[in-house]
Amino acid sequence: MKKNNEQMAIRASFTTIACDIVLVAFKVFAGIFGQSIAILADAAHSLSDMFTTVIVIIGVKFANRKSDREHPYGHERFESVAAIILSLTLFTTGMGIGWIGIERVLAGSYGEASVPGLIALAAAVATIVVKEGMYRYKSAVAKKIDSSALMADAWHHRSDSLSSIGSFAGILGARLGFPILDPLAAVVICLFILKVAIDVFCDAVGRMVDKACDEETENRMRKNILAQKSVVCIDVFKTRLFGDRIYVDVEIGVDGAKTLNEAHDIAQRVHDAVEAEFPKVKHCTVHVNPSVF
* Sign of the C-alpha dihedral computed for residues 109, 189, 177 and 116 taken in this order: positive
| pLDDT at res. 276 | 92
Chain segment 116-171, per-residue pLDDT in tens:
778 888 888 988 899 899 889 988 888 887 676 677 778 778 777 777 777 787 77
List, in order, residues 6 or more apart from 190 with CB less than 8 Å away.
Answer: 41, 94, 95, 97, 98, 101
Which residue among 165, 182, 208 closes a domain?
208
| pLDDT at res. 112 | 46
Q: What does the alpha-carbon distance between residue 194 and residue 170 come to, in Å, rounded to a whole number?
A: 19
| pLDDT at res. 243 | 67
Report whether 223 contacts 260 (CB < 8 A).
no
Which residue among 174, 208, 242 closes a domain?
208
* Sign of the C-alpha dihedral computed for residues 272, 278, 282 and 285 taken in this order: negative
pTM score:
0.61
| pLDDT at res. 263 | 93
Q: What does the alpha-carbon distance between residue 19 and residue 14 come to, in Å, rounded to a whole number?
A: 9
Whether the per-residue pLDDT at 81 is higher than 70: the answer is yes
Whether the per-residue pLDDT at 16 is higher than 70: the answer is yes
167 vs 201, residue with greater confidence: 201
| Mean pLDDT, range 52-58, rounded to an integer | 75
Which of the residue ranges 26-35, 106-115, 187-196 would you say has the lowest mean pLDDT? 106-115
Mark whether 178 and 225 lie in a shared domain.
no
Half-sphere exposure of 221 (CA within 13 A, CB side): 29
Mark whether 256 and 277 lie in a shared domain.
yes
SS3 76: coil
SS3 203: helix
Nearest one of 212, 266, 214, 265 to 241, comparing CA atoms: 212
Chain segment 212-270, per-residue pLDDT in tens:
888 999 999 999 999 999 999 999 999 988 767 889 999 999 998 889 999 999 999 99
Nearest one of 93, 91, 81 to 204, comparing CA atoms: 81
Mark whether 198 and 222 lie in a shared domain.
no
CATH number of the domain to which 90 belongs: 1.20.1510.10
Q: What does the alpha-carbon distance between residue 263 and residue 229 come to, in Å, rounded to a whole number?
A: 11
Mark whether 228 and 193 lie in a shared domain.
no
| Mean pLDDT, range 162-190, rounded to an integer | 76
| pLDDT at res. 113 | 44
How many folded domains does the chain comprise?
Answer: 2
| pLDDT at res. 267 | 94
Which of 19-23, 186-190, 193-197 ranks highest by mean pLDDT?
19-23
Which residue among 186, 208, 230 closes a domain?
208
- The length of the chain in residues reads 293
Q: What does the alpha-carbon distance between residue 80 and residue 200 come to, in Å, rounded to a whole number?
A: 9
Chain segment 64-75, per-residue pLDDT in tens:
667 666 665 665
Task: Work out the mean pLDDT of the chain and round it to a whole number.
Answer: 80
CB count in 10 Å sphere of residue 194 = 17
Mark whether 203 and 231 lie in a shared domain.
no
Mark whether 16 and 138 lie in a shared domain.
yes
Domain region containing 124: 2-208
CB count in 10 Å sphere of residue 186 = 29
| Mean pLDDT, range 205-211, rounded to an integer | 75
Could you tell me the CA-to-CA distances from 157 to 75, 76, 129, 149, 239 in Å, in that order? 27, 24, 11, 13, 31
| CA R_g for the chain | 25
Could you tell me the CA-to-CA distances from 69 to 75, 179, 198, 281 in Å, in that order? 12, 61, 34, 21
- Percent residues over pLDDT 90 in the chain: 22
